[in-house]
Amino acid sequence: MAVKTSIWTSSVGQLLDDECPKDFIKGLILSVCSLLLVEAIVEECEKKNRLCLLTQFLEHLVSEGSQDVHVYNALGKISLIAITTQNTSSRFLHGMRKR
């Protein structure tokens, strides 16, 4: 099983490198979610600054009752990214209004 999981993780990484459409990658992740190691896929997406692509996958795992700490850590990181991005955008827009 470890071989299959590494193949899927590296495949997702390659698709990210090739700039495939986000919806295609999300669909692939959801279709093979039982074959993915959460820690590995999170690491792969985080390296490529695409962690937010995993939101639906991670939420699915939570709804299935996952107790994997990597699921909750990744969701926490995604929330922090969203908050940081929103704050940065707000400061930028606020600065633009002053001009």
pLDDT in tens, 66-87: 999 999 999 999 988 877 766 6
- When pLDDT is cut at 50, 70 and 90, the band that residue 92 belongs to is low
Angstrom distance (rounded) from CA 57 to CA 44? 14
Q: What is the pLDDT of residues 19-48, one digit of tens each?
A: 999 999 999 999 988 888 899 999 999 999
This prediction's pTM: 0.76
Is 13:44 a contact under the CB 8 Å cutoff?
yes
